[in-house]
Structure 1
Amino acid sequence: MTEMPKLLMIIGAVLFLAGLFMQAIGKLPGDLVFKKGNTTFFFPIATSIIISILLTVLFSIFGRFK
Structure 2
Amino acid sequence: MAKWLIYAGVVLLLLGVALHYAPGLLSWFGKLPGDIRIESERSRTFIPISSMVILSVVLTILLNLFRR
Q: Quote how far apart the aligned CAs of 1:35 are.
A: 1.4
Taking structure 1 as the reference length, the TM-score comes to 0.69
1:44 maps to 48
Question: Which letter does structure 2 place at the counterpart of 1:47?
Answer: S
Alignment map for 1:25-64 (pairs within 5 Å): 25-26=28-29, 27-64=31-68
CA RMSD of aligned residues (A): 2.9
Greater length-normalized contact order (CA 8 Å, ≥ 6 residues apart): 1
State the TM-score, normalized to the length of structure 2: 0.67
Which amino acid is 2:45 matched to? F
Count residues in correspondence. 61
Unmatched 5+ residue regions in structure 1?
A: none
Q: Are 1:9 and 2:24 counterparts?
A: no
Uncovered stretches (5+) of structure 2, i.e. residues with no partner: none
